[in-house]
Chain A
Amino acid sequence: MNIQQSTRDGVTVVAPSGRIDTTTSGALDEDIRRAVDGGARDLVIDFASVEYISSAGLRVFLVLAKRMRDLQGRLVLCGMPEPVRQVFHLAGFMPLFRVEPSQAAALTRFVSTA
């Protein structure tokens, strides 16, 4: 798994690629945690290059959503390929997240709600 991180207009964009499973979720969790520890409060996770996500992978985003709620930060997920969306959907987790089709759409959420 490869993890890209960038900042767009003050919004931190994390874009993992490949498989998010028991083996790789630890590294992703740590990267995101570090970004939030470093002060990121507006966060976009771009799933466009994610091939697969397991239940252990889902936990990373549940923990993140909980933390962002506690910190009163904003979290938007975007770019989910259908298999990834299915995993979120089947577990019943879609209502827990703000989800946008693309990174561009995700970034507008921060402009309009600012």
Chain B
Amino acid sequence: MSVIHLRIEPPGGPASDRECVDGAVTFGRGTGADVIVSDDSMSRSHARLVLEGHIWFIEDLGARNGTFVNDERIQGRRPVAHGDVVKMGATVVRVSGDEPAPPESSALGVGDLGSSIFRPISDIVSESDLRGGAPSRVAARLKAINDFHRAMAGPIALDALLELLLERLFAALQPEEGVILLRQPDGSMTTAASRRLPNASGELLVSRRLVMEVADKGTAALVSDIAVDERFSGAQSIIGSGIRSILAAPISDAQGCVGMVAIYSRAHVRRFGEEDLELLVSLASAAALRLRNVALSEEAAARRVQDHELALAHDIQMAMLPREFARRPELEMAAALIPARAVGGDLYDFLATEDTLWFIVADAAGKGVSAALFMAVTRTLFRAIAHSEPTVAAVVSRMNAELARDNEQQFFVTALVARLDLASGALTYVNAGHLPPVRASLNGTVNILDAAQGGIALGILEDAVYAEGSATLARGDVLLLFTDGVTEAIDGSGQLFSDARLHERFAANATRPAAEIVERVVEAVNRFAAGVPQEDDITVLALRYRGR
């Protein structure tokens, strides 16, 4: 501690007190000295008290009558500490207060408190101390700290750790109420645990002011009577609750403040003192060391749980996609879906009856869990509604109306919904904001089925109208459906895979089996985007019509 108290006793009196915090202080009878003493046996500029690091030195400035520390004349300078008596001429200077303090107190203790919080010990020594109860109480407190350390030694959950801290504080300090606040990732402080006696009055409140003093500035607070403490004079929240005595300490470790703990009591029940504050600071510091570790390991555990959940969600979503394609003589089908994250918003599905095949490729906006939920709803609607309406447009309109209802967040899904008449090859489709499908014919031509833009993506306009497009598939024609994760895949230089590359790959492989077409297209996209993280879900579906 670098604060030093001096009691200066000139030969003719009266004595005076002085506190030195830092820098240097000169003593002498001349007007140039910092401390001017009327002592004829002193030199005009006699000696100097100077702080270096945390040590105060007394330095003789060549005084005629010399400078003595504990009756020993000094040459040059020497350190002074609590209890030393310095003599300059006939003047005696008694040094006190330069004792090393316990580390907790030096960092956070009462010495650092503003004067408006600090109360002289005489004000707060309780009657029981005066009756001589002190020694057993000190022992009890040491035991409390010890027990707390031991209890925290084993594996412990965050909640249990906070409960333990409150429990020990109640046992050792007998407050009426106690609360622990923890700093959240956004910097705010929220109540993480609290406890109060059944007969405690008022409401448990921590003023923003107290949080600022304790958690933000890192000081411990002892407020022995809020009503007269100017720092809290405007804090009606505390005064109104009738609480008069507060102890608060930051929960800090080397990396900073992770929270704070505060205990309250009405003054007539219990008035906290300086040693109570020291115990609170000790327990809070002990808790801080464990708290960050516990919080980190709980975070890691939460992440593991979340990863596991996502892996399960991935499996569930993949299981929604058919892997067995309709084994019918009229058809050959294959598809692939590669989500950019664990789960995604892309979808393909089909339903076959004796005479018709319904199929869909869709892309819910965004990525991840929100998109996956919207995808799942879209699939369910497709399965429920296809077959039950006479036209494709009617199916899409109903799916849209369902998706648009109460869609505050404006999630949407682009979709290509189609029906193929297996006997004739007649294809009817609705393109709801999706990329148009591409057809490859046996003669090697590739053309885009964009006869009509069917309408707006699903989910936005509840009463949207959809127009159908139609085409007739010839024996051997192959249809390719896909999502924009294919055409908008990016290579290292920021180029898009593009429609042109897709058409070229499709044309080059159109005579191969459907499964191989899908494989070759996906391969080409992967090769193109080599080393660039996949931005969007990728879906490719190929369908060859063989005729009847």
Residues of A within 8 A of B (CB): 21-22, 54-56, 58-59, 62-63, 66, 90-93, 95-96
Q: What 0/1 pattern do residues 514 to 544 of B give for CB contact below 8 A with A? A: 0000000000000000000001100000000
Q: Which residues of A contact B363 (CB under 8 A)?
A: 55
Chain B residues 362-383 with CB under 8 Å of chain A are: 363, 365-367
CB-CB nearest in chain B for A66 = B410
Given contacts A63-B409, A92-B433, contact A55 B366 (CB under 8 A): yes
Interface of A is mostly: helix
B435 interface contact, C-beta 8 A? yes
B536 touches A90 (CB 8 A): no
Chain B residues 411-425 with CB under 8 Å of chain A are: 411-412, 414
A93 touches B456 (CB 8 A): yes
**CA gap between A66 and B367 in the complex, in Å:** 22
B317 interface contact, C-beta 8 A? no
B480 interface contact, C-beta 8 A? no
**CA gap between A59 and B432 in the complex, in Å:** 16
Q: Which residues of A contact B365 (CB under 8 A)?
A: 55-56, 58-59
**CA gap between A65 and B536 in the complex, in Å:** 25
The 10 A-B residue pairs whose C-beta atoms are closest, nearest first, are A92-B456, A55-B365, A91-B433, A62-B410, A56-B366, A92-B433, A91-B457, A63-B410, A22-B367, A59-B410
Q: Which residues of B contact A54 (CB under 8 A)?
A: 488, 535-536
B460 interface contact, C-beta 8 A? yes
Pick from B455, B456, B535: contact of A21, CB below 8 A. B535
Given contacts A91-B456, A93-B456, A95-B456, contact A62 B412 (CB under 8 A): yes
Q: Closest Cβ of chain A: how far from B432's Cβ, in Å?
A: 7
B453 interface contact, C-beta 8 A? yes
Q: A59-B412, A92-B433, A96-B461 are in contact. List 14 more A-B contacts (CB 8 A).
A: A22-B366, A59-B365, A62-B412, A63-B409, A63-B410, A90-B435, A91-B433, A91-B457, A92-B453, A92-B455, A92-B457, A93-B433, A93-B456, A95-B456
Q: Which residues of B contact A22 (CB under 8 A)?
A: 366-367
**CA gap between A54 and B414 in the complex, in Å:** 12
A56 touches B455 (CB 8 A): no
CB-CB nearest in chain B for A83 = B496
B433 touches A59 (CB 8 A): no
A62 touches B460 (CB 8 A): yes
Pick from A55, A56, A63, A95: contact of B414, CB below 8 A. A55
**CA gap between A22 and B366 in the complex, in Å:** 6
Q: Closest Cβ of chain A: how far from B52's Cβ, in Å?
A: 52
Q: Which residues of B contact A21 (CB under 8 A)?
A: 535
Query: Can you report 6 A-B residue pairs in the complex whose CB atoms are below 8 A from each other?
Result: A55-B363, A55-B365, A59-B411, A66-B410, A91-B457, A93-B456
